[in-house]
Amino acid sequence: MNSKELWQKTSHVVRFAGDSGDGIQLQGAQFTNASALSGHDLATFPDFPAEIRAPAGTRFGVSAFQIQFGGDRITTPGDAPDVLVALNPAALVVNLSRLTSGALVIVDESAFTEQRLRRADLNSNPLDDGSLADYQVCRVDIAHHTLEAVKPFGLGTKDSQRCKNFWALGLILWMFDQPREPTADWIRKRFGKDEALVAGNLAALNAGHAYGETAELGAILSQHNIPQAPLLAVEYRTITGGEALALGLIAAGELADTEMMFCSYPITPASSILHHLAGLEDAGMTTFQAEDEIAAICSAIGASFAGKLGITSSSGPGIALKTEALGLAVAAELPLIVVNSQRAGPSTGMPTKTEQSDLYQAVYGRNADTPLPVIASRSPGDCFDTAIEAVRISLRHMTPVILLTDGYIANASELWPLPDFDSYLPIPTARPDPNASGPKRVFARNPATQARVWAAPGDVDYVYRVGGIEKDIDTGNISYESDNHQQMTDMRSRKVTSVADFIPDQILEQGSERGLAVVAWGSTYGAVFQAVKEALREGYAVAQIHLRYINPLPKNLGALLAQYERVLVPELNTGQLATLLRDKLLIDCVQHNQVNGQPFAVEDVKQAIYANASKRMKEVGNG
């Protein structure tokens, strides 16, 4: 599209790219913050290399951060960037193909040296060889300008060059007329002790900003005023999935008036949750870094046996190691939260890439008939509510619960309306009722939930012994009785199916009551929302149904889906939810699967909708 069309858009996609060492993620985070404070809705996508600090200048070492922000409701980081800020040749070439035609490309000229072009496997200089023909190119000697700006403060060359990202950030902030103050504050906090660093980075930030104002780049680099988003009259903040999940767990502890123990072993992309929680003992959350995933879930189970709510967290390979112990938690009927931040597999796979391929494992992945509830988060902010919901289910039914999230929402951030915490209902538990009369039987079960009594050591009324061997349904003693095993098996499945008696009916996110139903789950929410929204605008008979409850499914789902001529199931796996829908509802569905480590592009989902939906009659008539 031409420059005019480009800048008419009410929301924009900006991508920052450079070396792992260039502080790209920081740049992105600061810009995100500024956009939020400017009242823009937004969604981000940090896209860093697998290597901790990949060699400078290499293609695989490029670190990028993409954000879509603006005046519409934003649910994805955007398919194609309108603006690319590339701090070196590699950052330019690996990202070119993503750009919208006519996109603005801002490059640091100084980085396009012979040697660094070679480092990026380039034989010619893309700035001159015409590969940028389709784009508006803005060549700036960022390195030079930065050094100039910081010279007064006597920083070493290394530190001076490190200020580059703030210079570029300053320029972009100017472009979209966004505030520098939050970043300035951050710089002061971060480098507080070192005055020179504070001054230098601030100077770079301001110089970049000033450059935009003063440099006569006219059309190419002009300032654009992005309208504010249609937000509610509440408070907002930006939040990542990792943060939201951690906060949700802590909040749930308060709602259940329960102390919690988070036991985990680091693994990408799950570690961030442990990082966020470490040190928050005062919030009733103790964290324990175990020697491995098995010890992590086992210590969590021990905590639940001892009366604290045990929580464990990992990613696919680590969850695999936990499955034996999960069986024990089911057999002992203990509450337990298992968070799975899914990543691309099989095996080690692509740890930093996202995928939705652990649904089979969550629903079916245990030996024996060992059912348990499974729910999934749809977006960064949604992790807060799903964490609370997972705890609610676990404590209501005295069962382990698996909460599925993934690498994409763990790292991505969105604009999030601050929840009115006092409006959240308390979470009841099955703890012993000291006032209850009658015999104190720890395996007396609530007929509605099959929850047994959550008695813990220290309680004089319930001294009991339990284990992984099949137990008598009443006394809890070891029992090899065949009828008892049948009854226990039935009780265990009833326990999980009874969850459906407490969850809300499945709702329609948007769209028509007939035609094509697009049924999805987890982190694809944003892309599917956008795709269905646009298809609806284009007159297609299509609806969005997004599942939070994976097992059991909401009771009305079957009836709801029966209304539609066709069901489309887009997933970032080979069709795992589709299997579940066939198994539980015996409904046929069209699968749309992508397993390449990337989130869906809105466009891909739209194409799938076009291929399976028809225009509404009246629309066609009108058209």
Ligand X SMILES: Cc1ncc(C[n+]2csc(CCOP(=O)(O)OP(=O)(O)O)c2C)c(N)n1
**Of these, 129, 177, 195, 235, which contacts another protein (CB under 8 A)?**
235
Task: Say what angle helices 142-150 and 164-175 make with each other, to 10 degrees.
Answer: 110
Contact 359, 580 (CB under 8 A): yes
Q: Which two tokens stand for residue 380?
A: 């960064």
Instruction: Rule CB under 8 A: choose which of 477, 486, 556, 563 binds another protein.
Output: 477
**Minimum distance of a second copy from residue 167's CB (angstroms):** 30
Q: Which helix (H) or strand (E) holds 551?
A: strand 549-551
Decide if residue 267 touches ligand X (CB under 6 A).
Answer: yes
Tell me the window of 160-168, 240-248, 262-270, 451-459 that interacts with ligand X (CB under 6 A). Answer: 262-270
Task: Compare residues 469 and 620 and give the one whose CB is closer to a second copy.
Answer: 469
**Cα distances (Å, whole numbers) of residue 610 to 544, 562, 613, 615:** 14, 21, 5, 9
Q: Which one, 317 or 558, has the nearer CB to ligand X?
A: 317
CB of 298 to ligand SF4, least distance (A): 24
Subset of residues 291 to 330 that bind another protein, contact rule: CB under 8 A: 291-295, 298-308, 310, 317, 324-325, 327-328
CA neighbours within 13 Å on the CB side: how many for 612? 26
| By the rule CB under 8 A, 348 interacts with another protein | yes
The span from the CA of 216 to the CA of 213, in Å, is 8
Q: How far is the CB of 262 from ligand X (least distance, A)?
A: 16
Q: Which helix (H) or strand (E) holds 41?
A: strand 41-47
Q: Which of a second copy, ligand SF4, ligand X, none does 266 bind, CB closer than 5 to 8 A by kind? A: ligand X
How far, CA to CA in Å, does 503 sit from each of 92, 132, 396, 549, 576? 48, 53, 12, 8, 22
Give the residue, chosen from 21, 49, 182, 266, that forms a contact with ligand X under the rule CB under 6 A: 266
Q: Which residues 176-205 are close enough to bind another protein by CB under 8 A?
A: 182
Spatial distance between the Cα atoms of 378 and 189, rounded to a whole number of angstroms: 33
Exposed/middle/buried for 393, CB within 10 Å: 0-12, 13-18, 19+? buried
Q: Which is nearer to ligand SF4, 52 or 425 (CB)?
A: 52
Residue 397's nearest CA partner among 490, 519, 512, 495 is 495
233 near ligand SF4, judged by CB under 6 A: no
DSSP state of 344: B
Cβ atoms of 189 and 140 closer than 8 Å: no
Minimum distance from CB of 496 to ligand X (Å)?
Answer: 24
Provide the binding-site residues for a second copy, judged by CB under 8 A: 50, 60, 315-321, 323-324, 327-328, 330-332, 342, 344-350, 352-353, 355, 357-358, 360-361, 363-371, 467-470, 480, 482-483, 485-486, 489, 492-493, 573-574, 576, 579, 582-583, 586, 588, 594-598
Interaction partner, residue 622 (another protein, a second copy, ligand X, none; CB < 5-8 Å by kind): none
> Site map for ligand SF4, 354-373, x if CB under 6 A?
--------------------
Size of the chain, expressed as the number of residues it contains:
623
For residue 35, give every residue at least 6 positions away whose Cβ sits within 8 Å of its Cβ, in sequence order, or none. 42, 67, 69, 176, 178
Instruction: Give the angle subtended at the CA of 170 by the CAs of 167 and 173, to the nearest 5°.
Output: 155
Residue 584 host element (H or E) = helix 576-585
Binder among 4, 52, 157, 233 for ligand SF4 (CB under 6 A):
52
> For residues 310-329, which are near ligand X according to CB under 6 A?
317-318, 321
| Residue 52: CB minimum distance to ligand SF4, A | 4
Query: By CB under 8 A, which span of 133-141, 168-176, 247-255, 609-617 interacts with another protein?
Result: 247-255
Residue bearing tokens 């199916």: 497
Phi, psi values for residue 604, rounded to 5°: -60, -45
Report d(CA 277, CA 271) in Å as an integer: 10
Number of shown-chain residues binding ligand SF4 (CB under 6 A): 2
Closer to a second copy by Cβ: residue 123 or 367: 367
Do the beta carbons of residue 316 and residue 358 sit within 8 Å?
A: yes
Query: In terms of CB distance, is 52 or 219 closer to ligand SF4?
Result: 52
- Binding string, 279-298, against ligand X, x = CB under 6 A? --------------x-----
- The helix (H) or strand (E) run that includes residue 383 is helix 382-397
Residue type, 405: T
Q: Which does 60 bind (CB under 5 to 8 A by kind): a second copy, ligand SF4, ligand X, none?
A: a second copy
Q: Which of the residues 393 through 422 are near another protein (CB under 8 A)?
A: 415, 418-419, 421
Q: How far apart are CA 113 and CA 120, in angstroms?
A: 11
Give the footprint of ligand SF4 on this chain (CB under 6 A).
52-53
Give the footprint of ligand X on this chain (CB under 6 A).
265-267, 293, 317-318, 321, 348
